[in-house]
Amino acid sequence: MSMASVSLLLFAAAAATPIPSPQPIAQPPQASESTPIIVAFGDEGTRMTVPVTIADSGPYRFIVDTGAQRTVISRQLAATLGLPPGRNVRLIAMADSVNVGTVIIPSISLGDIGGKKIEAPMLEGTHLGAPGMLGIDTLQNHAVAIDFDRQEMAVTRSNKRRPKSFGSPDEIVVRAKSLFGQLVVTDAYYGNTRVRVIVDTGSAVTMGNPALQRKVSRRAKPMTPISMMSVTGTYLNADYTQISRVSLGDIVMSDIPVAFADALPFRRFGLVDQPALLLGMDTLKLFRRVRIDFANREIRFQLPRDAMRAVPGGSSVTR
């Protein structure tokens, strides 16, 4: 089984489809904290994009990846724009670490959000499946809201405020800690075992580390060997199964699909001995809406209207 979408530490892959020379799209609306940029995402919910402007060129549709620490650009778009070269850097990917060149992006923005100068690693567009991906280096002061009912995603500015532990009646607010700029939920459990959870919109597949696999192996359904390809073109072998019950704050998720692998990001985050999950789109789509607020270190989950939704494979969510 080959799965072409896999999360990375510094970037995450979408479907690896060939891309022609990148072309600008129509200009998006301007955005503020109260007026978000709203865009539709793919039918399968595995590729969510926003219109990104680079200097005075574009916009181009970049995938938003909350599991990635750095923004990455395709070599094809960098060449089209004639961006100046930067340093060579070493990137830690899901399956390997690689040396890649970078380019200097003089200004990258979403509507009127941003205008930030960054040094972006370059990767092949055929592996990325898009002109580029936005990592948390460009999302630190923003909130990303994914509406699965409407098949839309909104990106807004987010200002720090006093913590709120409540939401609407059908919404659960989960607090998170920051680790290398990444939001890590610690109030999560498999049975009595605490699990560290990172919400990863760039991955179609929820990933678990070997420490969690050892905990679930006796009670999990039979595991199926699969192979997943990352944006570097390297394959990662994993064991794919469903795990019976994971709680996230007041939320209970049942029979969720997980691919277990000794992936390098878990080591980078210091999550080798502690059970951990990278929560991908296959699990996130159980909810009506998910809002990830980097500035306030919180994640809001809006439950299904009937407080439980079944999907193919039997997964469900309730409180």
Cα-flanking dihedrals φ and ψ of residue 264, to 5°?
-60, -35
Kindly indicate the confidence band of residue 289, based on its pLDDT and cuts at 50, 70 and 90: very high
Domain ranges of the chain: 2-145, 160-318
Distance CA 146, CA 116 (A): 24
Burial label, 2 (beta-carbon count in 10 A; 0-12, 13-18, 19+): exposed
Identify the residue with better confidence: 93 or 149: 149
Closest by alpha carbon to 151, among 313, 314, 285?
285
The tokens of 213 are what?
């696999």
pLDDT value of position 167: 57
The gap from C-alpha 25 to its chain's centroid, in whole angstroms, comes to: 23
Tens-digit pLDDT profile for residues 126-137: 888 889 988 888
The topology under which CATH files domain 160-318 is Cathepsin D, subunit A; domain 1 (2.40.70)
* Sign of the CA dihedral running 247, 155, 161, 181: positive
Q: Coil, strand, or helix at residue 153?
A: strand
Assign residue 273 a region: left if phi > 0, alpha if psi is -120 to 50, beta otherwise?
A: alpha
* Domain range 2-145, CATH architecture: Beta Barrel (2.40)
Tens-digit pLDDT profile for residues 220-232: 678 899 988 787 7
Same topology for domains 2-145 and 160-318, yes or no? Answer: yes
Identify the residue with better confidence: 164 or 187: 187
Buried b (16+ CB within 10 A) or exposed e, 57-88: ebbbbbbbbbbbbbbbbbbbbbebbebeebee
Identify the residue with better confidence: 111 or 23: 111
The tokens of 40 are what?
């539709």
CA–CA–CA angle 141, 294, 59 (5° rounding) = 55
